[in-house]
């Protein structure tokens, strides 16, 4: 006997994030799905990118800077897996930075992303990727 679980706000947000990001609409995902006090937690600090970024205005500013200094060739978003108010998914991006120490180097980056959703908005995103 097959059981169908009810769709939650977390499922809705996860599906919408996958839809927007898999079609390259990262800024739209950020502005639509993130709460005002959302936080990004990177696995490590990088040049020009702090490990922790707090607040939607700071996240938008970081995304705008990334878009300005990065040429994106493609990417993918895996199927989100939901557990309560959190979901995980894998993301890849094939890109080339146009500024900084990695300028001119094309690379494919893969990360696992853990999102926490409250009141229909993403309030925290943690990113896991190789740090060595």
Q: Does 61 have pLDDT greater than 90?
A: yes
pLDDT value for 5? 55
Is pTM, for the whole model, over 0.85? yes
Identify the domain containing residue 56 by its residue range.
Answer: 9-128
Three-state DSSP class for 25? coil
- In this structure, the strands spanning 34-41 and 121-128 are parallel
Closest by CA to 91, choosing from 111, 115, 63, is 111
Express each pLDDT in 88-129 by its tens digit. Answer: 999 999 999 898 888 899 999 999 999 999 999 999 999 999
Domain count, the chain: 1
| 1, part of any domain | no
**Using 50, 70 and 90 to split pLDDT, how confident is the model at 47?**
confident
Q: Does 67 have pLDDT greater than 80?
A: yes
| 71, part of any domain | yes
């Amino acid at each position: 006997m097959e059981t169908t679980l009810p769709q939650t706000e977390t499922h809705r947000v996860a599906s919408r994030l996958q839809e927007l990001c898999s079609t390259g609409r990262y800024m739209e995902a950020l502005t639509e799905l993130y709460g005002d006090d959302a936080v990004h937690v990177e696995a490590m600090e990088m040049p020009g990118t702090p490990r922790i970024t707090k607040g939607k205005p700071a996240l938008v500013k970081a995304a705008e800077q990334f878009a300005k200094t990065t040429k994106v060739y493609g990417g993918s978003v895996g199927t989100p897996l939901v557990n309560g108010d959190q979901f995980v998914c894998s993301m890849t991006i094939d890109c080339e930075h146009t500024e900084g120490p990695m300028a001119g180097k094309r690379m494919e980056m893969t990360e696992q992303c853990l999102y926490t959703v409250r009141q229909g908005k993403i309030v925290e995103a943690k990113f896991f990727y190789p740090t060595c």
